[in-house]
Amino acid sequence: MPVEKKLFIHDNIGFIELLETFGDDLTVVNAARVSFHKESSELSQRDIGLINYLADHDHVTPFFHPIVRFRIKMPIFIVREWYRHTIGFARNEVSRRYVTDEPNIFVPDKLRMSDKNVKQGSKEEAVEHNDIYLEEMKLYCKQALAYYNQLLENGICPEQARMILPQSMYTEFIETASLAGYARLVKLRVDKTAQREIQTYARFIDHFLRKQFPASWAALIKEQDDEYSSRSMDHRDGKKPQHDQTVL
């Protein structure tokens, strides 16, 4: 079977694509064993025990040696949260100072009710008249795009025309980080207090890295395994992901 490299969110626009990886579980093991001038050639149960020991006792430096590179497309309002993770991350993003093609806009499939009991976050329930609000949201986005194109057609420079584009506009970037960096990101962004939309992307990262670094990833995020197993990668009301949302 082909190895899946790309996962889409519900609108089939936003995605995370695995570009390449450096290292494996043995990379972590040998980074730790070099202290004793030793090296493993094949991953053994003893090595897996060492990986778990390192994670359990917060010896994180060996987990910085494996490196992962993704291409990611997500709305700007999510990117601004995603970019708060900086240690061990490098990113290069599409710039609308240079690019003037038609941008994609994210529109959710449900507008959730605010929760007066928390400072941030939302309830699971959709607001009353959800469909009406969604149609109005789409209309405003279309108007913003139309005016953006009008500005460009009238000679306004792209770096200023972009100012009127909404925060729901998609952007795309290449991101490279260590296994340790992604473990911290995922643990924070799949938490129930994280915004629902960012949880979806964090679960995609989890999905890829569980397969690429099975022993190390399990050790790094083991305290959340029960939560992961009860959640879907798709954020739509707990429904399981549709097959047509995954590109193989």
Provide the 8-state DSSP code for 127: P
Q: How far is CA 48 from the centre of its chain?
A: 27
- Least Cα distance to 178 among 65, 79, 93 occurs for 65
> Is the CB of residue 188 less than 8 Å from the CB of residue 180?
no
Residue 89 β-bridge partners: 177
Distances (CA, A) of 86 to 29, 82, 177, 203, 209: 25, 9, 9, 19, 19
By annotation, the residues acting in catalysis are: 189
> What strands lie across the sheet with 89-93, from one edge to the other?
89-93, 170-178, 67-75, 15-22, 6-8, 246-247
